[in-house]
Amino acid sequence: MSRDARDSHGNLLIDGENAEGKVRARYGIAELYVESPGVEVQKKVSRTQEVHNAMSYIFNDERGAQGRVLVARLLGKNMKNAPDSEVTDYLLSLAQRNPKQIITVYTGSDTALRLLLIEAREKHIIVIKNKVYTYADDIALGVSDDSVLAFLKDPKNKKILELIKRDTYPDLMNAKDTLTESTEDNSSSAKEEKNTKKAKK
């Protein structure tokens, strides 16, 4: 009898026959288990790395405490008046339980627009009139968050998007304009200096 012989139920038969010629199954159902500690350790390391990455996004949020509040709001919890330590602790607890959720919020393609929509609504830049999201009293943006996001992502509405950003983040946009003007001035000065040198030659 071969070592892989099986009985009528499909169970492996081990250790051959007894003296009477009857098949004897000493161990019953045989199972094969290959231990792969390296695979399990790798999964644990990957999970730890993912949690670390999620926590890094939280700690290194470019908008600081305000950004963390907005991320918490985006995840369904309004912590506007909570201290930053409490908001951070809440987000870190989420990162430990579901790091992919935190990473998606910080890296998703719609995240910036979703945060803009939240803050624009809080500052009453965008309001809801007759169940329609409205900007500047008469510009209809959509009837839901997703429809507003689709509107703002449409290249045809880029100018409206920029106006909403300017109204929502006036300090940030003014700083951006100042930087742009400074860069353009430096570029113009460099061109003038180059032309002057050419004229002297």
47-65 pLDDT tens trace: 999 999 999 999 999 989 9
Indicate yes or no: pTM above 0.75.
no
Q: What are the boundaries of each domain within the chain? A: 1-33, 42-108, 115-198
Given a cut of 80, is residue 176 above it in pLDDT?
no
CATH class of 115-198: alpha beta
97-150 pLDDT tens trace: 999 999 999 988 888 898 899 889 989 999 999 999 999 989 999 999 999 999
C-alpha distances (whole Å) from 47 to each of 53, 89, 92, 102, 104 are 10, 19, 15, 14, 15
In contact, 117 and 126? CB cutoff 8 Å: yes
Given a cut of 70, is residue 11 above it in pLDDT?
no
